[in-house]
Amino acid sequence: MPKADPSPSAPANAVAVNWIIERLPVAGALFLNHGDDDARETLTGLLAERGLAREKVFHPTFDERFELAIGTPESKGRVAERVDPELLVPDGRGDHARFALALGQRLGALDATAGKALIERLEAVLEDE
């Protein structure tokens, strides 16, 4: 499945939403178990705008277990901690990925001259660091 982006207008979101919508209806629930919480919430909102009931979309936490049975899934909680929750902190990779995607989209929207100028400005910032 395509990755979601936390910005509601991101082209990646349209691809992800369309991919999911093409597979409707959801019989029980849709689990969005990858991505930052903001991106998953944005994707849930976009899906709700297209008619998927919010209560059918779940955002499981790390190590959370669900019993998959007919009807609405029920969380069984986190049974065993494989990793100390204190270690589950953002490490900047998500920020880097979001920035790289946004930069690629911006460069794609610019003509060659403006794109080159933007790259030169960004390179100048890196040199000053």
In this structure, are 79 and 106 located in the same domain? no
Q: Which structural domain range is residue 113 located in? A: 90-129
User: What's the structural domain count of the chain?
Assistant: 2
One domain, residues 79 and 95: no
Identify the top-confidence range among 68-77, 94-103, 115-124: 115-124
Indicate whether 1 pLDDT > 80.
Answer: no
For residue 2, the SS3 value is: coil
> What would the mean pLDDT of 67-83 be, rounded to a whole number?
75
**Whether pLDDT at 122 is above 80:** yes
**Residue 12, pLDDT above cutoff 80:** no
More confident residue, 62 or 45: 45
Backbone angles phi, psi at 113, to 5 degrees: -65, -45
Mean pLDDT of 75-82: 72
Mean pLDDT (the chain) is: 83
Residues 98 and 78 in one domain: no
d(CA 46, CA 123) in angstroms, rounded, equals 35
The 3-state DSSP class for residue 75 equals strand
Q: Are both 111 and 129 inside the same structural domain?
A: yes
pTM of the model: 0.53
Omega cis (within 30) before 25:
yes
